[in-house]
Structure 1
Amino acid sequence: MLFCKNLGVVDRSIRILVGAALITLVFVRPGTLWGWIGLVPLLTGVMGYCPAYRLFGKGC
C-alpha cells in the first residue's frame, strides 16, 4: 500500500461530507471557484490519508 491510513472513521466522514458539499457549489453557483477546494477534503477522506497529519507526526 502506498499510503497508510491516518484518519479515523469520524474524520473521514466529515471530510467526505464537507468535500461533497463544497463541490456542489460548483453546480449551484457556477461562477464561484470555492467549490473546487472541496476536492482536497473529499480525496483525503476517500483515501483515508492526510499528508498534513503526517507532517505533524500523526500516523505511520
Structure 2
Amino acid sequence: DKYDEESRALFATARLWDDGLIDPRDTRKVLAFCLDTVAEGRARETRPNIFGVARL
C-alpha cells in the first residue's frame, strides 16, 4: 500500500520533486508553448556583455 501511494504523481509533485503536473487536456497547448520557446531561443543572437557583472 505504501509503495502504491508513494508512486503516484501527486505524491511526488506535492513534495516539489518535479516541475509540476499539467492537465492532460492542456498537453497540446503546453507542448506548443515549449516548442515555440525553444525555437525563439535558437533564433536569438547572443551579444557580448560589455558592462561587466552587477553585484548587489
**Structure number with bigger Rg:** 2
Superposed pair shares fold, TM > 0.5: no
TM-score by length of 2: 0.36
Higher relative contact order (CA 8 A, sep 6+): 1
Structure with the bigger percentage of helix? 1
TM-score by length of 1: 0.35
